[in-house]
Amino acid sequence: MIDYLTSTNYGNELADQLAKEAASGSEADIAYNKIPKSAVIRELKEECEQEWQSEWDASTKGSIAKTFLPIIRDRLSKRLQMGIKQSTTVTGHGALRCITIDLKL
């Protein structure tokens, strides 16, 4: 029993010593320097969203769509079932455009 306690205590002491060396010293080699694939994908998506949003804000086209979807991130977070009626309403194309022109809206 005493041998077990001594060996366990020695293991803990050794682990403590190694942890202190790793935390304080910059001499240690880098053990892991790769970025996970998921982190790269997340960063690329964020950059694409930011670029898309800045282009969306700068564009003079799509003013009707911008009233419904002003922020790209909000649109991407929603699962919209876009059919012909919804896309016609949001974009202002199709028969709706003819009706609004006829009614002078």
Q: What is the pLDDT of residues 54-93, one digit of tens each?
A: 998 998 887 877 887 888 888 788 777 778 777 777 776 7
Residue 11 to residue 6: CA distance in whole angstroms: 9
Quote the pTM value: 0.45
